[in-house]
Structure 1
Amino acid sequence: MSARRPMLIVALAVASFALAGCSAPDQTSDADRPQIVVTTNILGDVVGEIVGDEAEVITLMRANADPHSFEISAQEAALLGDADLIVSNGLGLEEGLQQHLDRAADAGAPQLVAGDAVEALPYASGDAAGTPDPHFWTDPGTMLDVVDAVEQAASDIDGVDAARLAEHAAGYRSELETLDAEMTEAFAAIPQGHRALVTNHHVFGYLADRYDFRVVGAAIPGGTTLAAPSAADLQELSDAITEAGVPTIFAESSQPDRLVQVLASEADIDVNVEELFTESLTAPGEGAETYLEMMRANTARISEGLTK
């Protein structure tokens, strides 16, 4: 029995050494890798798919949050100054975060504003008419431009393998092209008279432009969820919905649908209210954990809602 104990001790020592050898890279990998800080969780998911293991991606916006109004802690704000790259949406979306982004820019932090990489569309109506619409992610074709911009910006970071980055980016472009084809096919089945969208606020301009929808209106008149509709706004939109004859109007998952329910009641029409994932990804298991999952869920709900 005593002869076996030294062998057991040696075996345990070897196993412990092996485990320590396996865990050591994990303990230092995040410290060694470049750090990319992303404002919104939609962009955070996309950036993560593009860079893979080439960088640590930190997303500031929580699941189910409102990108117009979410705020960050002092500790999170400090991450911006230390980042190898900051990726933001831009075009006025991150209203509660802009001061921190401006401060980081003044300090010389490298930044990529995704909205600067796309052909921005103006809001077509409402209080924000004529100003740039920041909701470009509702068009997967426009997101291809974002992939190009992220790949270029990330390739300039020291320590990033450009070849591996290019491989990840090419794979994600293929995913976006497949998504675009799926959405085109699904929306083609919607009758032309029903190809109209009403939501809490103006968010589907890019989707409408790409897939031939009409944006009838929004319960919140401006481009931001921080605005509030007046009685006249609701009445005007009610009249437009009645005239358009849409079978379904849509509420955003990041906000209560009370306004849309009130609108349905005010219009005095038989209209369904369907929830969409529009400005935020969800927590795991809630239906929109990734950008691709979010877009597929919305496509199915819009198609079903407007073909009733």
Structure 2
Amino acid sequence: MRTPRPLTPRRTGAALALALAGPLTLVACAPGGDPDGGVVVTTNILGDITRAVVGDEAEVTVLMKPDADPHSFGVSAQEAATVEDASLVVHNGLGLEEGVLRNVESAEEAGVPALAVGEHVDPLPYTSDESEGEPDPHFWTDPRRVATAVDLIAENVVEEVDGVDAEAVRANADAYGAELATLHEWMTDEFDTIPSGNRKLVTNHHVFGYLADGYGFEVVGAVIPSGTTLASPSASDLSSLAETVEAAGVRAVFADSSQPDRLATVMAEEAGVEIDVIPLFSESLTAEDGGAATYLDMMRANTTAIVTGLTSP
């Protein structure tokens, strides 16, 4: 249990307003009995993972909507207040959530514990183009790192969120960890069906470095030569990548399902060869009927799409 946070001016003003208003209205507690704001999670991928860990022990609020871009999504004033009232903020970190970073930092300044998950899962550096050397935030494409994240989230929830059953949270984490181990084994078997000469990836932007490192792929390049979708490729970038793609004999370009595939299509046309443009769920979960409503669904769908794209004649 953490030491209670001192009242900031905002909190003090709210308390005074309630006192002057007369009789207090009872505030409903979260399922686990936590009277604060529960756990607030920035991205929907981490939100799904955190909900699996927390279960019914506390309220989990996810800020990023389905099919959104983690690099550019923002929050409303009400959601920003929810962040500052949280018992724990779980965010990806490593520069991913560019649109809500100031909200997370503001919450930390107000005394809210915040867990930057990506910083604690042995992050890899980008290895090419304009992001070279910077830490890659897209760790979730490796389920083994997600397993590390699960244990990390569980321990932070137990430590920071009042009223949770520690044994229940840790049991949830163990159960989800077992599902991740099964997922990793299945992905390994599926990727082993791709001939070694075909294990080359071109994507919309640099997002699959962890998958490539863990499962023996070569990242030939990206249409957007950056780790963020907020960057833009130049004509020379596209021309250079087209030459690389043609020389490597790449069979498919994988574009994020939440982003238009126009740039990937232009690059394929620039290469002067026939290349399939295949959508992947790389940075966001979907709505229930969108094909990737959970992290496990997303990884299975992506694995199947990659195998199909790189083995089809």
Same fold (TM over 0.5): yes
Within 5 Å, which residues of 2 pair with 1:273-284? 273-284=277-288
Within 5 Å, which residues of 2 pair with 1:68-217? 68-156=71-159, 157-217=161-221
Shift of 1:32: 3.4
Task: Please state if 1:296 is matched with 2:283.
Answer: no
Compute the TM-score of the two structures, normalised by the length of structure 1.
0.90
2:30 & 2:139 partners in 1: Cα distance?
33
Counterpart in 1 of 2:309? Answer: 305
Q: Residue deviations 1:174-214, cap 9 Å, x none?
A: 00000000100000000111101101000000000000000
Do 2:251 and 2:276's aligned partners in 1 also have CA atoms closer than 8 Å? yes
Q: Residue deviations 1:241-291, cap 9 Å, x none?
A: 101111111110111100000011000011111000000000011100000
Within 5 Å, which residues of 2 pair with 1:230-241? 230-241=234-245
2:281 & 2:192 partners in 1: Cα distance?
21
* Among candidates 263, 266, 269, match of residue 267 of structure 2: 263
Do 2:206 and 2:225's aligned partners in 1 also have CA atoms closer than 8 Å? yes
Counterpart in 2 of 1:244? Answer: 248
Counterpart in 2 of 1:32? Answer: 33
* Among candidates 17, 36, 61, match of residue 64 of structure 2: 61
More helix per residue: 1
1:245 aligned partner, one-letter code: G
Counterpart in 2 of 1:222? Answer: 226
2:215 & 2:193 partners in 1: Cα distance?
12
1:72 aligned partner, one-letter code: V
Counterpart in 2 of 1:6? Answer: none
Q: Residue deviations 1:101-125, cap 9 Å, x none?
A: 1111111101111012110000110
Q: Residue deviations 1:119-140, cap 9 Å, x none?
A: 0000110100000000000000
Shift of 1:28: 5.5
Residue 78 to residue 29, structure 1, CA distance change in 2 (3 Å): closer
2:148 aligned partner, one-letter code: D
SS of the residue aligned with 2:130? Answer: coil
Counterpart in 2 of 1:47? Answer: 50
1:263 & 1:57 partners in 2: Cα distance?
41
Tell me, which stretches of 5 or more residues in structure 2 are unaligned?
Answer: 1-27
Q: Residue deviations 1:35-63, cap 9 Å, x none?
A: 10000000000000011001110000000
Do 2:31 and 2:57's aligned partners in 1 also have CA atoms closer than 8 Å? no
Tell me, which stretches of 5 or more residues in structure 1 are unaligned?
Answer: 1-26
SS of the residue aligned with 1:280? Answer: coil
Alignment root-mean-square deviation, CA:
1.1
Shift of 1:143: 0.6
1:290 & 1:100 partners in 2: Cα distance?
25
1:247 & 1:284 partners in 2: Cα distance?
31
1:90 & 1:198 partners in 2: Cα distance?
25
2:178 & 2:298 partners in 1: Cα distance?
17
1:107 aligned partner, one-letter code: A
Shift of 1:29: 4.7
Q: Residue deviations 1:163-183, cap 9 Å, x none?
A: 111110000000000000010
Flag the structure with larger Rg.
Answer: 1
Shift of 1:222: 1.1
SS of the residue aligned with 1:63? Answer: coil
Counterpart in 2 of 1:13? Answer: none
Do 2:42 and 2:90's aligned partners in 1 also have CA atoms closer than 8 Å? yes
1:117 aligned partner, one-letter code: H
Q: Residue deviations 1:58-97, cap 9 Å, x none?
A: 0000000000000000000000111010000000000011
Do 2:200 and 2:217's aligned partners in 1 also have CA atoms closer than 8 Å? yes
1:278 & 1:29 partners in 2: Cα distance?
32
Runs of 4+ in 1 over 3 A off after TM superposition: 27-34
1:62 aligned partner, one-letter code: K
